[in-house]
Amino acid sequence: MQAQNVKERVILGIDPGTAVMGYGLIRETGSKVELLSLGVVKLDHLDDHALKLQRIFEKTISLIDEYHPDCMALEAPFYGKNIQVMLKLGRAQGVAMAAALSRNLPIAEYAPRKVKQSITGNGSATKEQVAAMLQTLLKFTETPQFLDATDGLAVAVCHAFQKISVKGTSSIGGGKKAKTGWAAFVKDNAERVSVPRSPKK
């Protein structure tokens, strides 16, 4: 007999880029997470930056319309010294966001270090380490053509791990950020956690 009232949601994860856009889709059923799809969109053959943005928008819309995800998670651009690269990455992310917003999809955004920490327990993990852990977690053996595909998948899994139940988990728009991790667990489960008292002097 199947357990009733088990919440199910499909999460689309995207790692926006101007040369390659990685994406991954997972289905979360209760505590179980399964892989639906992962892949890349090659953009380096397009010379015009505007055409790259158009391709990102169209592919994101296509994925949303095909898999009907409940939310989208993105990897935030890392902060580098090259302003032009940052600007282009920000545009790529913005276009992916616009595609999701046009389908009324909630958006969550995670820093690269947060994604790595969620998947491997190490915020400084390599792309290869993240990919290996995802293969173990989701039990797939095929090697993605680019590590950007597993980067996109990692963002989706990271979002699933947050266990955010608040509707509209978007970090866009200045909403309150949901607290996760050990501190949040202690706060929500005070009766289950024994905090040692300091000895009186």
**Structure tokens given for 24:** 């991954």
Active site includes 44? no
Instruction: Report yes or no: 67 and 56 within 8 Å, Cβ to Cβ.
Output: no
Strands (E), the chain: 8-15, 20-29, 32-42, 71-75, 107-110
Closest CA relative to residue 149, chosen from 61, 27, 37, 24: 24
Active site includes 151? no
Q: At what angle do helices 112-120 and 147-162 cross, to 10 degrees?
A: 80
Q: Of the residues 28, 109, 148, 151, which is catalytic?
A: 148
Active site includes 47? no
Query: Which 3 state secondary structure label does DSSP give 153?
Result: helix
Q: Token match 């699933």: residue?
A: 160
Q: At 152, which amino acid appears?
A: G
Q: Of the residues 15, 28, 109, 151, which is catalytic?
A: 15
Q: Of the residues 48, 58, 66, 75, which is catalytic?
A: 75
C-alpha–C-alpha distance, residues 112 and 77, integer Å: 8
Known catalytic residues are 15, 75, 148
